Chains A and B, each alone.
Chain A
Amino acid sequence: MNLLTPLGLAALAALPVIVLFHMRHTTPERRPVPSLRFWATANPRPADERRLRRPPLTLPLVLQLIAAAAIALALARPATAAQLAALAPGLRSEPRHVIVLLDGSTSMGATIGAGSPSRWELARRETIARLAPLREGDVATLILMGTRPVTLTATDAASLIALRERLATIAPPGGRADLDGALALAGDLLLPNLERHVVVISDGALTADATTVANVAAPVELMLPGAASDDASANLAVVDIAARPSPNGDGTVGLYTSVMNFGPQSVTTAVSLLGDGLEVGRSEVTLAANGGTESLRWLLPPGVAELTVRIEHPDALAADDVATLLPGEAATTTIVPRILLVSDLPGALARALMAVENVLLTIEPSDNGIAIAGGGHDLIVFDRTAPATDTLDRIDTASLWVAPPVGGPFATTEGISDPEITRVRAGDPLLEGVDLSGATFGPTPVFTLGAGDEEVVGGADGPLLFRSEVNTQPALVLAIDPEASNLPKRVAFPVLVANAIAALAPDGIPAAIPLGEPLVYEPRAATVAVEIAPPAGEPALLQVAAGPTTQPANVASDPVSREIVYADTGAAGTYTVTERDESGRDLGSTRFVVNAGHPRESDLRVNAGLAGTLASATGAGVTATRQERVDLWPLLALLALIVIALEWAAVLRPGTRRVVRRLAKGHAT
């Protein structure tokens, strides 16, 4: 018999307290007597002089001591061995906390053979089986390992049932399983005072850091359902795909792809190239065993919107046999930044903006306050002008200011100078590809930096290019007047303008995302909802958080992120993103690709050192195999309850007083 919480024995300290309680003198009971004459002579010591009396052997005292001892033992939670379990049927063992680390990576989609269940399916069944014995009082935590771990917890019978039901239908998140992160998370989630157990259910194609494992204060068990030999785990994968212009400068675009072999045998297979679903190329490659890689190159046919490379060889994991590329992203996307140019005399700046690809440019005069403050633009560019104050206060988007007038929103000092560049912020992305050497500038007001402003390019008298904020929105100020400078005649100017747009306008959607990685991007200004359609299944409609509303100047408002996060990228294929405005009208759409192939994830072979590493967990060996024990605290609690009831009955029933007297008499004699 073990004591699961020996600290509970501290409650035995209540026993002497109870005895002391019975030894103390209580408020005396008042009793009339015919005469005190004999009592006075029989009482040499007044009761008040003695603070304590001899412990009275009374039935209530004995029962209270028994009840207190039973409660103390119950708190200590004695547990019998399994052999004694029959004595206490229905009683349960020590509550457990089982943390299951379920591998949901891409490699779990592999199958051993045709028609056989995938590793994911086997792992899911194993997980359900591991959770089945858990009962009321046990705690189950499921960490679904993908690129981003998902945690599900059940703390009672109902949530355990719900967890099992969800496991029956849950889809693998895909991506790469971060076992180290999951182990660290499990170590943090382990509940004290429970028997703890961590189970890793995987295909074994994982690595674990020994230090991280050692910090897990629980035994870690590795389950490999569906693990197969290296032959059965042989897998080919397209691990890289990219389109780049030909270095020859002939205007052609080349498609480069890499194919790897993760099997123990060398493989010769055909690799085909599909353009918009039609085969446009085919190559035979021979891949050496154990990581042999071959690179393939094709010339892209013009006008193809979607290219797919496919390995024509059946293997354990079909998902990484295919990789897709959208070379014509520009041609297929209609989600572009909407830019408003406010200019009374469009000139060099307007031309530079028109030269930027994938933007929607609108030009309005400076007196059209309605258009300026109307919203719906991702970026407003002020060309040598500034709006009226009431209009300025209503601007709720990023802005680019070129040669803002004196008296505008940015502070200036007295004087005008012909500046020369004396300071440049090295490495600033605004200056990437921008060569300002030899640039001359005309008369320029001397601006002063406000609190929080950041100078990028500066002259002797003041900043020439600096970052600032207008209505809590980012703003970029180019102090020089392009019309009075030779800068527009140089390549640096359109590049600088393009960099400024890239910095201020929302980022676009990446063309490709690794399997399981979430899509994070900021929709355009007028977008209120984004619909993302996966390769298979129902599309998801994501609401965009409302942007900063126009507030009076004296009302502070915190900026609200409009970024959306889409995490269900566990399936390889092409995803379609559609943005919608308030009325539900499509504002544009684009696509991105999720490819399954990865040099690490496509390697389905079991990591031979994983089991040894996991065995080094701190709690390993403590209870490597669970010893079934029966917790006796309910019996002891019941005993205490019965004894307390008897004590009450003894106190309340007059007849028991005679028993008490007899006991006391027997004790005295």
Chain B
Amino acid sequence: MNAPAGWLSAVRARGWHPLPGRGAPAGQSLDAGDEEILLDERTLTRLRRLSLAAGRARTEGLAGEHRSRRRGTSPEFADFKRYSQGDDFRRIDWNTYARLDGLFVRLSEVTTELSVHILLDSSASMDWRSDERWPTKFTAARRLTGALAYIALWGFDRIAIVPFADTLGRPFGPVQGRAQVVPVLRHLQQMRTLGGTALAPVIETYAHARSRPGLLLLVSDLLSGEPDELQAALHVLRARGWQTAVLHIVDDAEVAPDAASAWLHGDATGTGSTSIELIDRESDVTLRLAPDDEVVTRYVAAVATWLDALEASCVAEATAYARFSTAWGIDDLTVMLLHERGIVA
């Protein structure tokens, strides 16, 4: 399915100004204001070929493009079945009767829509980056959220974007239809970080507040609580029929040993600091440490343990888990990872 002609012009007319972006030709990008470029034309073209994998998430309605087990009267042929009493004889295939001398009824496929809920972490910890070349985690998360929302809207799914920090923020949606692409992206552009994080309580609160489960995409740096708490929250979602995917946004300096060491040892003068004072973005608590290799080694080890625990928690609750680096952007790597983890198809 192709985008309607003049769609980009319409987007621009609604206040989106293109800026040259990384990997995108000049004049073919959608920017989120300032320096934050959310999606470019090439990426959008790629995203149009994708759809969210419904999995075991319950689909409903008829507007969507997700295949359903239900059979209906649509023109999309699905199968034949022998005529039985009570069937609509208007659907008997007379050509088959002529060839086989038996009555068969044509079955049609019914497509349904998916309810997509995107919980976007807007805590202060997301507003951080280790290198000026990369976007903040919040920008990367919004970019990923925008891509997923675009896929969903393009497939006529219904989406709701809910920011959260220590509590749930004001949601955007549910909305449906391609006409909502621009409002969604604009909303993402205008989002700001909120404060501290309470991840597990927020998830549980959201799950309990929705009677009809759907596909829940959690976009967060997960720097709140322990993996056990996350697993408990995921269990609640699973128990209530939600299909969940955890999209973990990380900065390389948080998880990669080399990047962490480089970030820790580097300073403005290049002369190396004898000590640095780290400030927690959410709590403003400070920690003074000597940036030596030993500290980096222990830090990386602690992070690796934490990541393993996170992944194990997700696996235990049949939840897709994918880790995205802020350095990636919405490119082949991200799409491939979404494919691999069964989030998109």
Contact = CB atoms under 8 A, between A and B. Distances in A.
B288 A48 contact: yes
Contact of A29 (B221, B276, B290, B302): B276
B299 A42 contact: yes
A28 interface: yes
Contacts of B13: none
Contacts of B269: 651
A26 B278 contact: no
Contact of A35 (B280, B290, B292): B280
Contact of A53 (B137, B292, B306): B292
B27 interface: no
Contacts, number: 132
A276 to B, nearest CB: 95
Interface in B256-288: 261-262, 265-283, 285-288
Contact of A33 (B267, B280, B293, B298): B280
B302 A31 contact: no
Contact of B299 (A23, A38, A46, A653): A38
Interface in A33-86: 33-48, 50, 53-54, 56, 58-61
B287 A26 contact: no
The winner among A60, A651, A660 for most chain B CB atoms within 10 A is A660
A362 B106 CA distance: 168
B276 A41 contact: no
Given A34-B125, A43-B287, A50-B290, A25 B274 contact: yes
A38 B290 contact: no
A411 to B, nearest CB: 88
B159 interface: no
A209 B280 CA distance: 87
Contacts of A29: 267-268, 273, 276-277
A56 B272 contact: yes
Contact of B275 (A47, A58, A59): A47
A31 B125 contact: no
B289 A46 contact: yes
A249 to B, nearest CB: 107
A26 B270 contact: no
A23 B289 CA distance: 15
Interface string B101-134: 0000000000000000000000001101000000
B295 interface: yes
Which of A35, A40, A50 has the most B CB atoms < 10 Å from its CB?
A: A35
| Chain A interface category by residue count | 35 or more
Contacts of A46: 288-289
B276 A661 contact: no
B293 A668 contact: yes
B147 to A, nearest CB: 22
Interface in B188-204: none
Interface in A627-669: 650-651, 653-654, 656-657, 660-661, 664-665, 668
Contacts of A39: 278, 287, 289, 295, 299
B223 interface: yes
A418 to B, nearest CB: 105
A43 B277 contact: no
Interface string A15-34: 00000001111101111111
B280 A36 contact: yes
B303 interface: yes
A661 B126 CA distance: 27
Contacts of A44: 298
B288 A32 contact: no
Given A25-B274, A36-B280, A664-B272, A42 B302 contact: yes
Contacts of B280: 32-36
Given A31-B278, A34-B126, A34-B223, A660 B289 contact: no
Contacts of B128: 32-34
Contacts of A60: 270-271
Interface string B213-227: 000000001010000
Nearest to B124: A34
A37 B309 CA distance: 15
Contacts of B293: 668
A53 B290 contact: yes
B113 to A, nearest CB: 36
A374 to B, nearest CB: 86
Interface in B235-267: 251, 254, 261-262, 265-267
B44 to A, nearest CB: 30
Contacts of A36: 278, 280, 283, 285, 287
Contacts of A56: 272, 274
B279 A26 contact: no
Nearest to A44: B298
A58 B270 CA distance: 8
A35 B282 contact: yes
Contacts of B271: 22, 58, 60-61, 651, 660
Nearest to A48: B288
Contacts of B261: 665
A331 to B, nearest CB: 95
Contacts of A23: 274
A24 B128 CA distance: 30
A23 to B, nearest CB: 8
B277 A28 contact: yes
Contacts of B298: 41-44
A33 B281 contact: yes
A625 B140 CA distance: 81
B289 A26 contact: no
A660 B270 contact: yes
Contact of B272 (A32, A42, A58, A665): A58
Given A31-B279, A39-B289, A47-B274, A661 B262 contact: yes
Contacts of B285: 36
Contacts of B288: 28, 46-48
Nearest to B297: A42
Contacts of B254: 34
A651 B262 CA distance: 16
Contact of A34 (B274, B281, B299): B281
Contacts of B262: 661
A34 B288 CA distance: 15
A341 B285 CA distance: 109
Contacts of B286: 30
A35 B272 contact: no
B274 A53 contact: yes
Interface string A549-567: 0000000000000000000
- From B254, B271, B281, B282, name the one whose CB has the most chain A CB atoms within 10 angstroms: B271
Interface centre among B126, B279, B292 (most CB of A within 10 A): B292
A651 B273 CA distance: 13
A34 B127 CA distance: 8
Contacts of B268: 29
Contacts of B267: 29
A47 to B, nearest CB: 3
A25 B279 CA distance: 18
Given A32-B281, A46-B289, A661-B265, A26 B273 contact: yes
Given A33-B281, A35-B223, A40 B287 contact: yes
A668 B221 CA distance: 31
Nearest to A34: B125
Contacts of B295: 39, 42-43
Interface of B: 125-126, 128, 137, 221, 223, 251, 254, 261-262, 265-283, 285-290, 292-293, 295-299, 301-303, 306
24 contacts: A23-B274, A25-B290, A29-B268, A30-B279, A31-B277, A32-B280, A33-B128, A33-B279, A35-B223, A35-B280, A36-B280, A36-B285, A39-B287, A39-B289, A42-B299, A43-B295, A45-B290, A46-B289, A47-B275, A53-B292, A54-B292, A61-B271, A654-B270, A661-B265
Closest 5 CB pairs of A and B: A47-B275, A42-B298, A34-B125, A42-B299, A657-B270
Given A34-B223, A35-B223, 7 more contacts: A25-B275, A29-B268, A32-B279, A34-B128, A53-B292, A657-B270, A668-B293
